[in-house]
Amino acid sequence: MIKVDREPAPPALDLTDPHSAASLELQVIRDHLDAHNTLPEKKKFDVYSSPPVKALLISMFKGKCAYCEIFTSAGFDGDVEHYRPKGGVTDADLARIEHPGYWWLAMVWTNLVLSCQHCNQSRRQLIHTPGQDEATIARELAENRLRTTGKKNRFPVENNSWVVDHQADISGEAPLLVDPTVDEPETLFEWEFERSISTVKAVGDNPRAAQTIEILGLNRRGLTEARVAVLDLFRARRRTILNRLNEIADPNTDDVRADTLRDVVLQDLDDFNVSCAANSQFAGMARAFRSKLATEVAQML
């Protein structure tokens, strides 16, 4: 996961315009609430997933899931996902707190992200744990131990203090789910690079990162396999760089050759910038790998 700068809202979601599609859709619900002192049994939420809105989300997130960074466009265009769920809050239900869902945010641009189906929808997944040894991984694969993951209507907050009133200020709410358009994910997650699978964990057991990993299934088997395919390429490039550094350190290497190798190593390191770009799959992992490698290179040069 990486930080993504949010672009301006599309015209359809301009809530400052009373005639925009979002304003008109929201007004229907508010009128029903005013007239009957209750929400309509069926709420109409269409504009948030309209083609112009979805197209802008796809562009903004570079065709990747906002959470796991897998390309969504290879098989489908992704889900338009509500960060704060519009239809109910599972975590509030579990805490026996009645929550209607953040229906008033269903058309709010800052509440929308692009998500893959595995992160957004409830699925049974094989989940790996950082630090697992190879025998445990093999046993879990053989036994097909599955867990339910996927955001759906999940939205935990600190102290179970949800905002339930559409007229209340949500700024005081403390979500326990990372928002990649607000937070700095690269400071919250760290990666395992030396194992046969590529898992992610919370920095310093950060509760928001830990909850996000668990809820979204960011260590699900299929995702770790996709990440490790990219990671294997990084590992190969790292071995090449380290071999060149060892040659530089060899007393039998003459100065001209050593200088040439230093330039090549620095160029190899710069080449990682392509994998770290926002439009690259798993850029968050790539940036963490490059940072670690840069430290190794600096220590050996």
SS3 label, residue 21: helix
Is 186:3 a contact under the CB 8 Å cutoff?
Answer: yes
Is 287:276 a contact under the CB 8 Å cutoff?
Answer: yes
Is 301:263 a contact under the CB 8 Å cutoff?
Answer: no
Q: What amino acid occupies position 154? A: R
Is 79:112 a contact under the CB 8 Å cutoff?
Answer: no
SS3 label, residue 183: coil
What pLDDT, on a 0 to 100 scale, did the predictor assign at position 210? 96
Let me know the angle formed at the C-alpha of 237 by 234 and 243, rounded to the nearest 5 degrees.
140
Strand partners, 189: 202
What pLDDT, on a 0 to 100 scale, did the predictor assign at position 4? 97
Pairing of strands 189-191, 79-82: unpaired
Backbone φ and ψ of 39, nearest 5°? -75, 150
Q: How far is CA 250 from CA 16, 237, 247, 266, 296, in A?
A: 67, 20, 5, 18, 17
Q: What amino acid occupies position 143? A: E
CA neighbor of 261 nearest in space, from 270, 252, 271, 249? 249
Which pLDDT tens digit goes with each residue over 116-158? 999 999 999 889 888 877 788 888 888 888 888 999 999 999 9
SS3 label, residue 36: helix
DSSP string over 24-72: HHHHHHHHHHHHHSS--SS----GGGSHHHHHHHHHHTTTB-TTT--BS
Question: Whole-model pTM?
Answer: 0.91
Tell me how far apart the alpha carbons of residues 39 and 75 are, in angstroms, rounded to a whole number. 37
Q: Which residue has the tokens 């090549």?
A: 264
Alpha carbon 189 to chain centroid, angstroms: 10
Is 183:164 a contact under the CB 8 Å cutoff?
Answer: no
Pairing of strands 112-115, 79-82: antiparallel
Two structure tokens written together for 54: 């979805």
Phi and psi based region of residue 183 (left: phi greater than 0; alpha: psi -120 to 50; beta: remaining): beta
Dihedral, CA atoms, 26, 31, 34, 35, nearest 10 degrees? -150
Tell me how far apart the alpha carbons of residues 69 and 200 are, in angstroms, rounded to a whole number. 13
What pLDDT, on a 0 to 100 scale, did the predictor assign at position 74? 60
Two structure tokens written together for 272: 């990682």
SS3 label, residue 11: helix
Is 114:80 a contact under the CB 8 Å cutoff?
Answer: yes
Name residues of the chain where pLDDT drops below 50.
none
